[in-house]
Amino acid sequence: MTADFDSKKPFIIDTEPYYLATGDEIALFSAAAVARLPVMLKGPTGCGKTRFVEHMAFRLKRPLITVACHEDLFASDLIGRYLLKNDETVWVDGPLTRAVRMGAICYLDEVVEARKDTTVVIHPLTDNRRTLSIEKKGEVIQAHPDFLMVISYNPGYQSVLKDLKQSTRQRFVALTFDYPPPEDEARIVATEGCIDTDTAMRLVTLAGKIRNIREHGLTEGASTRLLIYAADLIRNGVTFKSACMAALCQPLTDDDRLQETLSDLIDDLL
């Protein structure tokens, strides 16, 4: 076994993550990977973005390194730092540097949350230079041919302060995700939640209604992820009503009036 293989191994996905395609996203992503174009995934929470990237990493046989971005994430967290080890300072690559060196897919989840200084790092990697500059070491690395940058963000949460700059946006091809069409979503919920298709379809119908009342003050509808949670509860003996209350209504809002409206929607389906 080579050292190269050893370093990649923890990031290789060796069993196929289940993913039901709802459009041409697999073909688009595959083409972008061959063309070495960075990819941006846009869409609401829990609609399948992360699962899709995992599935594509498996299909393309590339390691996947995921970074969940947050407001305290600095460029140095992505690149790496000197650490003290037995009285010696040693350089430790950060997740992005590792991905650039080994030819992995680097998935920056919720990228708008990261500090602004990260864009300085992202830009040279996502245009035709494909370079990463490690200032602390005075080193510039050329990305491995298989390196692929993927970012995701939820346009629903974006504020004026936290929007991506045009100069960043225009370095990516974008794939827009949304909740799958009802038949597909029911298949996903039945498969992932191990329940029968009829019950899955009822959950999806309810989700459709919840998603339609957004104008009453819900910022986002019930996600596919929450439908699977409801299915998990039902499979473990919870009634349809209780499962929907616990997984689909309560997590969405603290507003009593909205809760009542949501509860009525469930009763309509009983």
Ligand X SMILES: Nc1ncnc2c1ncn2[C@@H]1O[C@H](COP(=O)(O)OP(=O)(O)OP(=O)(O)O)[C@@H](O)[C@H]1O
As separate numbers, helices (DSSP H) first and strands (DSSP E) second, the chain gives 12, 9
**227, 262 contact by CB (below 8 A):** no
The set of residues, in sequence order, having a beta carbon less than 8 Å from that of 7 and lying 6+ positions away, is 98, 102
Tell me the C-alpha distance between 51 and 180, whole Å: 13
In the complex, what is the shortest distance from the CB of residue 45 to Mg ion, in angstroms, rounded to a whole number? Answer: 8
Selected range binding ligand X among 28-36, 43-51, 126-134, 163-171, rule: CB under 6 A: 43-51
Tell me the C-alpha distance between 62 and 207, whole Å: 35
The set of residues, in sequence order, having a beta carbon less than 8 Å from that of 97 and lying 6+ positions away, is 78, 79, 80, 132, 134, 141
Applying CB under 6 A, does 225 fall inside the site for ligand X? yes
Q: Indicate the residue among 7 and 197 with the shorter CB distance to ligand X.
A: 197
User: How many CA atoms lie within 13 Å of 240's alpha carbon, on the beta-carbon side?
Assistant: 16
Applying CB under 6 A, does 228 fall inside the site for ligand X? yes
Q: Indicate the residue among 93 and 110 with the shorter CB distance to Mg ion.
A: 110
Q: Residues 21-40: x/- map of binding to ligand X (CB under 6 A)?
A: -x------------------
Question: Looking at 50, 119, 205, 259, which residue binds Mg ion (CB under 5 A)?
Answer: 50
171 phi, psi to nearest 5 deg: -110, 0
In the complex, what is the shortest distance from the CB of residue 87 to ligand X, in angstroms, rounded to a whole number? Answer: 41
In the complex, what is the shortest distance from the CB of residue 110 to ligand X, in angstroms, rounded to a whole number? Answer: 7
β-pair partners for 67: 108
Give a three-class secondary structure readout of 5-27: HHHHHHHCCCCCCCCCCCCCHHH
Sign of CA dihedral 176, 177, 182, 185: positive
Applying CB under 6 A, does 51 fall inside the site for ligand X? yes
Q: Indicate the residue among 51 and 130 with the shorter CB distance to Mg ion.
A: 51
Question: Looking at 38, 63, 94, 180, which residue binds ligand X (CB under 6 A)?
Answer: 180
In the complex, what is the shortest distance from the CB of residue 153 to Mg ion, in angstroms, rounded to a whole number? Answer: 10
In the complex, what is the shortest distance from the CB of residue 204 to Mg ion, in angstroms, rounded to a whole number? Answer: 20
Size of the site for ligand X (CB under 6 A): 20
Q: Indicate the residue among 93 and 109 with the shorter CB distance to ligand X.
A: 109
Applying CB under 6 A, does 188 fall inside the site for ligand X? yes
Selected range binding Mg ion among 44-52, 142-150, 223-231, 258-266, rule: CB under 5 A: 44-52
Applying CB under 6 A, does 47 fall inside the site for ligand X? yes
In the complex, what is the shortest distance from the CB of residue 168 to Mg ion, in angstroms, rounded to a whole number? Answer: 19
Buried b (16+ CB within 10 A) or exposed e, 80-111: beeeeeeeeeeeebbbbbbbbbbbbbbbbbbb
Question: What is the binding site for ligand X (CB under 6 A)?
Answer: 18-20, 22, 43, 45-51, 109, 154, 180, 188, 192, 224-225, 228
Question: What is the binding site for Mg ion (CB under 5 A)?
Answer: 50
